[in-house]
Chains A and B, each alone.
Chain A
Amino acid sequence: MSTSESQAVENLSPAAADSGKKHNYLQIKNVSKQFGDFTAVDDVSVNIHQGEIFALLGASGCGKSTLLRMLGGFDLPTKGQILLDGEDLGNQPPYARPINMMFQSYALFPHMTVEKNIAFGLQQDRVPKSQIADRVCEMLKLVQMERFAKRKPHQLSGGQQQRVALARSLVKSPKLLLLDEPLGALDKKLRTQVQLEIVDIIERLGVTCVMVTHDQEEAMTMASRIAVMNAGEIMQVGEPDLVYEQPNCRFSAEFIGSVNMLEGSLNEDHPDWASITCPDLNADLYVGHGLTGSQGMPCALAVRPEKISVSAGEPQREHNKFQGVVEDIAYLGSHSVYHVRLPSGFIVMANAMNASRHSDRFTWGDSLWLSWDDDAVVVLTS
């Protein structure tokens, strides 16, 4: 926990590193939330930079939604503090916070037109009527929904409702925008398109945004930084590529993407290389960097399937090559995932691009070679 915290502060995203943007715009300090005996959020601390899109990623029940609800003011922390732009949000009710939320299933008011839904927030602030009309117009334009201003929510498609919900949550120019599973209700095809649209709109307005999602692809596409959550705790915070390529623990390695996990123990440790003995592999694993640890120290090894090359003949390299037999094939169009059984019985997943249309691909029972670069493996010592 404490290591990922310190990482969080140091790992500034390029967007937030711009001059004038505050790094500690939203400060979540040792926040816990208890429901009876159940600890939904357990001593979470994280700083969110101004203007970034920050994703809380985790499986359902990991506490990410509770954390978001505490930011919105719908639940109050049992312990800890939340500061927005230096100001303690304390026990402020949702209607007093300069924070707006886009709800999971949008929660559009069914008895109001699109226009009135968007105007609602401004009316609560007693903004003059003419200004409301202008602002609503502006928002409708931003989300390209001008033509639907007079419709009721039930007359819109899911994607259109989503745009209205976005416009409604942005109309008051909130200091912080919260997105709760923003695209959960859309089908996959539409989702990828809308993801980039939302990011575009949010970045254009420069609003700071915290989103909650269980979909790692969504988090990686949209967010500038990701916090991986498990059982109420933040396991790792970082930019998408860092979390993917440099997982700091088994959980984040396994949660994001697919990964081959091997158990082993440190054999030789040198300043610029190390070797690890692995009972599942018939040769020592070679790592292209030194490790800090003593001989025999147990460690977990994470190798992503796409880092492994598959070949029929023996690869021209000294280390990290293993022979196996194809056990299963998942054909995914752009690439195939081979499940290869090693002599030890361990099954390794390896991806191969289907670069040509009619190449002779491996089939069940084929014998092949797996190999990977010296820096392909992430060694997790904790």
Chain B
Amino acid sequence: MIAKLRTLLPGKHWAITGIPYLWLLLFFAIPFAIVLKISFAEAQIAMPPFSDIVDFDGEVWNLTLNFLNYMYLLEDDLYVDAYLSSAGVAFKSTLLCLAIGYPMAYAIARMQPSTRNIFLMLVILPSWTSFLIRIYAWIGIIKNNGLLNNLLMGMGVIDEPLKILHTELAIYIGIVYAYLPFMILPLYTTLVKLDDRLLEAASDLGASPIRTFFTVTLPLSKPGIIAGSMLVFIPAVGEFVIPELLGGSEALMIGKILWQEFFNNRDWPVASAVAIVMLFLLLIPIMIFHNSEANALENK
């Protein structure tokens, strides 16, 4: 009876599905449109520091699209290099996260259900502290007279401090540390669903444990690998805080360039163009991710 009444009430359904759409409109589509607009403008020394792309001369509306900002990105090697090196750092970090996260996720998924939750908690727990504080903490660990160097020197392993802070290594440490949970959780969810009987069937048919892993476990955890890799790769490409705090001044990452264009050069149009290009470059892996998700659903 109540269910019947509900179907008669209009708009309920829309109210629920509408909320995420409204959210996306307010916090993604509109800001994106603004950034897109700025990327087609010209820099000005004014408030705001860019020209209007639309103006009205009394009779007609004029739309002026300025592609020079985009051309500029191609002309100056700095941007291309920064994109490539960001992608490179993100790619290597993703591989490192996968290499470290897979065994962890596998081990947790194979545990007793009661201990499983404790270990999952341990994976998630650090994210309850502020991201910024955790990155600052790493400075304290890896700096020249930090915890790590003091410990190693105290033990007599090394004579002089290892230079880790402000190197590429520090960036990798930071990114892998910060994004590892995003790799572990999706991997865990696919691995925990893995049917034990499939592993037994493989063993029964003559596959050693190692062969079973490569022929059954690994292919079946592919959705988790892809999801985890995307969740690490995409934010790592645009990462700003980690290279800024842990990396050296020579660390070339697109997030840092973006910051410099906005706040040091006050060239908002070029900065916006940098952001728009990054977004479109990231669409490629997102599409791959989406495709694989769709395939996985189809194969259910």
Contacts and interface: CB of A to CB of B under 8 A. Distances in A.
A283 interface: no
A150 interface: no
A110 interface: yes
B220 A95 contact: no
B207 interface: yes
Q: What's the interface size class on A, roughly?
A: 20 to 34
Contact of A107 (B195, B215, B300): B195
Contact of B200 (A107, A108, A125, A172): A107
B197 A121 contact: no
Interface of B: 195, 197-198, 200-208, 211, 215-216, 219-220, 299-300
Contact of B205 (A104, A105, A111, A121): A121
Interface string A70-101: 00111000000000000000000111000111
Contacts of B211: 124
A168 interface: yes
B171 to A, nearest CB: 36
B201 A109 contact: yes
A356 to B, nearest CB: 51
Residue among A95, A99, A105 with max Cβ neighbours from chain B (10 Å): A95
Contacts of B215: 120
Contact of B204 (A72, A104, A108, A111): A72
B207 to A, nearest CB: 5
A154 interface: yes
* B interface majority secondary structure: helix
A152 interface: yes
A152 B299 contact: yes
Contact of B300 (A104, A120, A125, A154): A154
A74 B203 CA distance: 9
Contact of A154 (B197, B198, B299): B299
A148 interface: no
A244 interface: no
Contacts of B205: 95, 100, 120-121, 124, 168, 172
23 contacts: A73-B203, A74-B200, A74-B204, A95-B205, A95-B206, A100-B205, A103-B197, A103-B201, A105-B197, A107-B198, A107-B200, A109-B216, A110-B220, A110-B299, A111-B220, A121-B205, A121-B206, A124-B205, A124-B206, A124-B211, A125-B206, A154-B300, A169-B204
Contact of A95 (B208, B216, B219, B299): B208
Given A94-B204, A107-B195, A111-B220, 8 more contacts: A73-B203, A94-B203, A101-B204, A105-B197, A109-B216, A124-B205, A154-B299, A172-B206
B200 A95 contact: no
Contacts of A95: 203-208
A259 B221 CA distance: 52
Nearest first, the 8 A-B pairs at minimum CB distance are A124-B206, A121-B205, A107-B197, A107-B201, A94-B203, A124-B207, A95-B203, A94-B204
B110 to A, nearest CB: 16
A72 B199 CA distance: 13
A227 B27 CA distance: 69
A120 B211 CA distance: 11
Contacts of A124: 205-207, 211
Nearest to A168: B205
A92 B195 CA distance: 23
B200 to A, nearest CB: 6
Contacts of A100: 204-205
Nearest to B212: A95
